[in-house]
Amino acid sequence: MAAYDLWAWPLGLLYWAARLRHVGYGVHLLDCTDRAHPALGKDTVPSRHYHTGKYHTEILEQQPHPVKHARRFLKRYGLPASAFQTELETFEQKNGAPPDAILVSSRMTYWYSGVCEAIDLCKKQWPQVPVALGGIYATLCHNHARAHSGADVVLQGAARESLPAWLTAVISNAPEVPVSSPDEPPFWPAVDLCHAHGALPLLTSTGCPFQCSYCASHLVSGEYNRRSPETVYAEFIQRQSTYQTTDFVFYDDALLVDSEHFLEPFLDRVIEANLPVRFHTPNGMHYSLITEPLAQKMKRAGFTTLRLSLETLDANQLQTWQRAGETCLFHRAMESLRAAGFTRKQLGIYIMAGIPGQTVDAVQMAIDEVHVAGGQPFLNEYSPIPGTLEWQRALALSGYEIEEEPLWQNNSLYYTREEVFPLSVFEELKQRAHTIPLALSCK
């Protein structure tokens, strides 16, 4: 199964590291997916476009049933287990003692085997050190994580109150962790703990005001909150001046909401500063919120990689998925972006494929419409996410196997199941997405 580093950071842990360090905790980060980690040595994989790239990989000896069923291989991405073990030993040698507590997180539910392995190695190294597991897997597969992770406590959601309470309970004389705001400089993510700074994340908001039926943002991030454009700019300029960062990546789920009061004031400051930077939006933006003036500002500010969430043009599906959108608004957005100077290569358009109840014709129609509009279609193979409205439909179709074994929640595996589009159809759709019609090839 494949994974690619498209500007991925453990942003939740970096925010917590800043909060804890500010009140007196000593913090250390071990990011197993850090492609620049010194422990990789000669196995470091060179970066590609704008500091993205492939991870170091190892094929696992034991291949679980879902992977065998799909005729694929489960791999370990990032640090080898031996390097992880060495990092634990080095930490104790440098500090003269084990840590007081260990915080573990994971980006995907179906990465849980790596979580379990990491916790197991920590427990073998330091049996008495308490381990807390949080993040996406811990939140969305809570019962599974409690049963299988090996963590002493499994925390759900943003854990703004539960994590400080747990630290106070397990560490003697633990400093109190007050409620903090990302608008305050001490609580910006502790990116100094990372090993590479050529590209860094920016977060202008947490959560999402929408509740699309296939998305779990509201479960993982909590209620929707915006940061002021002044503090976002202050963080941006501090990062750029400190690390000479050239690429900034927006992590927002709803970057363009109320843009005239939040994103656009930020862009005005960036344009005025005229710095040699680029911006990227790997999380799909809401195309219905893109206007011609906004597109012009994005281009002038240095936006380079844009991703829009089209998902479908089928009105019935949009209603079922509780998602706003219209064909005319999509074309308005694309016309505005192309007029601003964005090229087809820069405009990636996400299209959902394989969601229960969806038709092949609807996916084909969306792919063709994106080509006509001057964008590059990207198939978003459906991944069933626990806790969402679509999850119940997926369970009814696929059975509880996808709940009992989170590996089935990996889009690379789920779309190989017989109840989804046939594998041959998926391959045809992928080919259709990547092949620009001859009539458009010169445009």
| pLDDT tens column, 13-25 | 999 999 999 999 9
Same domain, 165 and 215: no
Predicted confidence at residue 184, as pLDDT, reads 67
pLDDT tens for residues 84-137?
A: 999 999 999 999 999 999 999 988 899 999 999 999 999 999 999 999 999 999
* Domain assignment present for 114: yes
* Domain assignment present for 190: no
* Domain assignment present for 411: no
Calculate the average pLDDT of the chain.
Answer: 92
Same domain, 29 and 119: yes
Same domain, 215 and 362: yes
User: Is residue 1 over pLDDT 60?
Assistant: no
Same domain, 113 and 261: no
User: Is residue 185 over pLDDT 80?
Assistant: no
Per-residue pLDDT, averaged over 382-403, amounts to 93
> In 197-286, which residue ranges form alpha helices assigned H by DSSP?
217-221, 229-243, 263-273
Q: Domain holding 261: CATH number?
A: 3.80.30.20
How far apart, in whole angstroms, are the C-alpha atoms of residue 229 and residue 152? 39
Per-residue pLDDT, averaged over 391-417, amounts to 90
Note down the domain range covering 72.
4-170
What dihedral angle (degrees, nearest 10) is formed by the CA atoms of 62, 67, 72, 76?
A: -50
* Domain assignment present for 359: yes
Amino acid at 15: Y
* Domain assignment present for 22: yes
User: Is residue 274 over pLDDT 80?
Assistant: yes
Predicted confidence at residue 439, as pLDDT, reads 62
For residue 29, give the nearest of 92, 139, 120, 103 by alpha carbon: 103
Per-residue pLDDT, averaged over 44-56, amounts to 91
- Yes or no: say if 150 and 133 are a contact pair by the CB < 8 Å rule: no
Say what percent of the chain tops pLDDT 70.
96
* Domain assignment present for 97: yes
pLDDT tens for residues 343-370?
A: 999 999 999 999 988 999 999 999 999 9
Amino acid at 280: H
Same domain, 83 and 204: no
User: Is residue 441 over pLDDT 60?
Assistant: no
Same domain, 86 and 218: no
**How is residue 61 written in tokens?**
């000896």
Say what percent of the chain tops pLDDT 90.
78
- Yes or no: say if 396 and 366 are a contact pair by the CB < 8 Å rule: no
pLDDT tens for residues 328-340?
A: 999 999 999 999 9
Q: How far is CA 320 from the centre of its chain?
A: 24
User: Is residue 75 over pLDDT 90?
Assistant: no
pTM: 0.94
Predicted confidence at residue 395, as pLDDT, reads 93
For the chain, how many structural domains are there in total? 2
Same domain, 81 and 225: no
Same domain, 72 and 13: yes
Task: Please tell me the chain's helix, strand, coil percentages from 3-state DSSP, rounded to the nearest 5.
Answer: 45, 15, 40
- Yes or no: say if 265 and 258 are a contact pair by the CB < 8 Å rule: no
pLDDT tens for residues 313-332?
A: 999 999 999 998 889 999 99
- Yes or no: say if 353 and 429 are a contact pair by the CB < 8 Å rule: yes
Same domain, 241 and 298: yes
Same domain, 223 and 296: yes
- Yes or no: say if 5 and 55 are a contact pair by the CB < 8 Å rule: yes
* Cα end-to-end span (Å), the chain: 35
Predicted confidence at residue 183, as pLDDT, reads 67
* Domain assignment present for 56: yes
User: Is residue 412 over pLDDT 90?
Assistant: no
Same domain, 143 and 223: no
User: Is residue 436 over pLDDT 90?
Assistant: no
pLDDT tens for residues 123-164?
A: 999 999 999 999 999 999 999 999 999 999 999 998 888 999
Measured in degrees and rounded to the nearest 5, phi and psi for residue 284 equal -60, 130
* Domain assignment present for 111: yes
What confidence tier does 74 reach under pLDDT thresholds 50, 70, 90?
confident
Same domain, 338 and 435: yes
Residue 275 burial (10 A CB sphere; 0-12, 13-18, 19+): middle
How far apart, in whole angstroms, are the C-alpha atoms of residue 53 and residue 6? 7
Predicted confidence at residue 438, as pLDDT, reads 65
User: Is residue 249 over pLDDT 70?
Assistant: yes
User: Is residue 68 over pLDDT 80?
Assistant: no
What confidence tier does 266 reach under pLDDT thresholds 50, 70, 90?
very high
Per-residue pLDDT, averaged over 213-229, amounts to 92
Predicted confidence at residue 437, as pLDDT, reads 78
Predicted confidence at residue 2, as pLDDT, reads 67
